[in-house]
Amino acid sequence: MSSLAAARADNFYNPPDWDPNIESRNKYHNSHGALGNRARKLEKEGILIIRFEMPFPVWCAGCGHLIGKGVRFNAEKKKIGKYHSTTVWSFCMKAPCCKEVIEVHTDPKNAEYVIVRGAKKKVEYSGEDAVVVDPKAEDRPKDAIGRLEVAEIDKRAAEDGLIQIMDLKEQSYHRYKDDVDRNRSLRRTMRQARREEQQRTARRDALGLSKNIQLLPETKMDRLRASAVEFGSVKSNWKKKRKSIKSEGIFGRKYQRK
């Protein structure tokens, strides 16, 4: 078997001018192996490009933009020291909002990440961290009898508050226990209102009014006012006016016919 066939059988091809005693195969091909272009700074600077996920929400120091937890970056990973036998790593990345350089270090002592520059950790509080402060604590009596009286007053106030809460729960129950019937009644009312609105729109169009004019629902007072208006008959007014003209002279009422 020829040397080329043997090399193909091993799935490797060694160029004639390559000497394994001088350089590696990756260095000969100017390649970084399986890491690819992410390891271009590994030999000279000890930097490896990785995908880094922000462990907590931070405020960008450049523009004040909030970077949420879980946002991923192309970060430069570099070894900067040791804590006993644990390596301390540094991660440098650029913020997506203003290209501010953010640097994060690992803290093996406290088992967390530390923001070194470029950002500020967002402080979040939970309900467990809340502290209840009684504003009347300083005004409470110090003697035993006074504390007993105050405790009795607080107990009565708590009982009254409990009674009020139970009343509110009962009202809420009676209000929403027939939610199906209430929903049916509400939909019936809405259908009736929509039907009346359609009738008023049709009447407006029949009168030739503009679409910008909205007719309001008719009321009893509107009917009373409309019935009190008298327009008279057009035909009778015309006849009275003509008779008046015939009875007058050509020079006015002073020379009327007798």
Q: Which of these, 69, 89, 70, 73, lies nearest to 81 by C-alpha position? A: 89
Share of the chain above pLDDT 90, in %: 33
pLDDT band at 20 (very low <50, low <70, confident <90, very high): confident
Q: What Å distances lie between residue 86 and 89, 107, 109, 112, CA to CA?
A: 10, 10, 9, 13
Q: What Å distances lie between residue 186 and 177, 178, 194, CA to CA?
A: 15, 12, 12
pLDDT band at 113 (very low <50, low <70, confident <90, very high): very high
Give tens-digit pLDDT for 70-84. 999 999 999 999 999
The two three-digit tokens of residue 227, written as one number: 């019935």
Whether residue 128 is predicted with pLDDT greater than 70 in this model: the reply is no
Residues 6+ apart with CB under 8 A from 68: 54, 57
Q: What Å distances lie between residue 210 and 162, 172, 193, 199, CA to CA?
A: 59, 47, 22, 16
> How much is the mean pLDDT over the chain?
82
Average pLDDT over residues 93-119: 93
pLDDT at 92: 95
pLDDT at 214: 85
Q: Which residues pair with 114 in a beta bridge?
A: 105
Give tens-digit pLDDT for 158-171. 888 999 999 888 88
Whether residue 14 is predicted with pLDDT greater than 80 in this model: the reply is no
Please tell me the least confidently modeled range out of 135-144, 162-171, 196-205, 208-217: 135-144
